[in-house]
Amino acid sequence: MNLIISGTNRPNSYSEKVANYYLSKLSEDGEGWRLLSLNELPESFVFSDMYGKRSSAFQGIQEMVSEAKKIVFVIPEYNGSFPGILKAFVDALSFPHSFHHKKAALIGLSSGKYGNIRGVDHFTGVCNYLRMHVLPLKIHIPSILTEIDEDGTIKEGNARQFMDEQIKEIKEF
């Protein structure tokens, strides 16, 4: 089993729409993929599941991450980096087996013109610390608001072409 993580807890986020695109494309070959949106975290997550404590609601999430062989992170830009909820999520998971020597692919997106370059670089550092093997092809999607239709469909164009190229490499990774 493999996992795609939508790296924000914002409801109806563009990250989740991109994550769903990856889920549909990566699942085509029959390899097992699941989507975890951080808006599925328990409401009291930062109080109930940090520092070794585990609620029953978080235990299923922990198991999902522990079982994953590959993890795709869809990372929106929050204040020039990645969302704090994504860092809190990583910190809450059991160390080191949650991420140790697993494969990671990173997709950054933003409403601005740089596609969360800094946030993806920052998160690459976190992945390296966790001893994850990061796919060298990292995607940065600028102006995400213009890349997705109202129904969540990724428009034809450069962003979709780059995503499809990365998806091909994730399958081979």
Q: What angle do CA 169, 144, 62 make, to 5 degrees?
A: 60
pLDDT of res. 65:
96
Per-domain boundaries in the chain:
2-172
> In a structure prediction context, what are the per-residue pLDDT tens digits for the chain, which is 173 residues long?
999 999 999 998 999 999 999 999 999 988 899 999 999 998 888 877 777 777 888 899 999 999 999 999 999 999 999 999 999 999 999 988 899 999 999 999 999 999 999 999 999 999 999 999 999 999 999 999 999 987 889 998 899 999 999 999 999 99
Task: Quote the pLDDT of residue 109.
Answer: 97
Q: Is the pTM here over 0.85, yes or no?
A: yes
The one-letter code for the residue type at 79 is N
Instruction: Write down the pLDDT at residue 85.
Output: 95
One CATH from 3.40.50.360, 3.30.590.10, 3.30.2020.30, 3.90.870.20 for 2-172 = 3.40.50.360
